[in-house]
Structure 1
Amino acid sequence: MTPQVKQLYKILYEKTKSLPNSDALGIMPTHFVGPQSHFKKGLPMFVGRDTYGLGQDKVPLVTDYEYDELNWLKSRDGYYYDDSPFWRVVGHVLERVRGESYGPDVFHDFYWSDLYKINFRAKQGTTQGLRSEQINECAQLLLAEMDDLDPCFSVFLTGIYESGKGVGRFFERWEPCGQLKSKNESTGEFTLVGESGKMHCCIVVPHPQGKVQEEIIQKICALWK
C-alpha cells in the first residue's frame, strides 16, 4: 500500500471518528482475495456499493489491504456465495474468463472493493446521509487504490444512477478533475485516469440484486479486456 493510499485511509478514519454515530461504524478496506503470499499487482477488481454489516468491534486505522480467502463466503453455515446475487455474478464471470469450474474454489486472485467504505458494523444498510458524508474522500481513495494496484480490468457492480447509490455520483467527482475519460453510456465502459497518468479500463453494470443475472454475466464477459 502506497503512502498516499495510507494517508487517504487515515483521513477516512478521522472522518469516521468525527461522525455523531461513530461508535456504530467501521471501515471496509479493499481486499485482495487469496493468501497474502499470492498477492500481486495487475489482477481484476470487482467493486460493489457497500458492505452490509462489517462485523468489526471498532473503527480500524487501515494501513494495508485486507488479505482474505473469503472462507466465510464458502460455508453454507455463513454468507454462502451461491445465495448472493453479487457473489454469484462474480463467481460465474471468473469461471468463464479463466476457464475454471464454478464453485468455492473460483474465488481467488482478484481485488474486492466498495464505493462507500464507511459502513455500519451491524447488519444494516448504509444510509444516504452516510454516503454523502464520505463520497468525496471515497472517490479520491478508490482512484488512488487503482493507481497502486493497477487492476487489469475493473467491474463496478453498482448501477450508474440506481437510486443515487451508483457510480454516477462518483463520476460527478471524477469528471470535473479530468479523471473520467471515454465514458460510453450505451455499453457501460469508461476509463479512469489516476494522478500518475495510468489509464484504468472499467465497466459499470447494474447491481445484480433483483436483476437477470445471466445478462449481466454475459455483458461483463463480452467486454472483459
Structure 2
Amino acid sequence: MPPQFPDQKQYAAFLFDMDGTILSSKAAAERVWGHWAERHGLDPVRFLPTMHGKRGVDTIRQLGLPGIDPVLEADKITQAEIDDVDGVVAIPGAVSFLAALPPDRWAIVTSSTKALALRRLDAAGLPVPRFMVTGDDVTIGKPNPQCYILGAEVLGVRPAECLVFEDVEAGVQAGEAAGAGVMVITAAGHKHDFGNRPSIDDYTTISPAIRGDGLMIVRRPQIIG
C-alpha cells in the first residue's frame, strides 16, 4: 500500500530538520568527516552514511575510539564545517515554502551547533527562523525525541500537532518518538528504507495552506489531463 500523503491533515506548526531537509550540505559534510575518518583509520565509505542527522559528539562517542575526546574532536569538526560551505545550497522550493509560513508557526530543529546552522543557512540563502533548536540545546541528540519535543514547546504547541520534515532515519525516529507526523525529504539521496512513510523529493511539488483558524495544511497541486 502506498503511503498516504497528509494533504488533508491539519497542523499547528511545522518543524524542519536542516541538513538534507531544507538545504543540501552533504558534499561539504562528507568532505570534512571523510578526512577525519581517514585520519582515525576508519573506512569513509562505510562510516559516512552513519553520521548524517546526528550530533557530531554523539557520532564520535558511539565509535568508542581509544584516546579520543569526543567533545574536543566534535568542536574541531564543527569549525572545519563552518570553514567549508562550498556547495551548500537550498533544497529546491524550500525558500518559497518557508516564506509562505507564518513566522511563529515553524522552527528549525537541527543536530548542528547554532554557529554551524547559521553559517549554512547564510550560505544557502535561507532565512534564519524566529525559533530554532540546535544540538547545543539538548543533552542527547537524535534519534532521541528531546529535540522535537523542545521544538514544539518553543512554538507553544504539542508535538502531536506538528509535522516534522526529515531526511534520515535518526531524525524520522526522533520525530515519530515525539509523537509528531513525519514527512520525508529525499533530495539528499540517502539510501534509507523509510517504509510506508509519506515522502517528497523537494518542495517544488507542495505548498502550504493556512486556514482561517491558523492551522496549516500541506497541499500538492492538482494534475489535470
After TM superposition, the score normalised by the length of structure 1 is: 0.31
Instruction: Give the number of the structure whose alpha-carbon radius of gyration is greater.
Output: 2
After TM superposition, the score normalised by the length of structure 2 is: 0.31
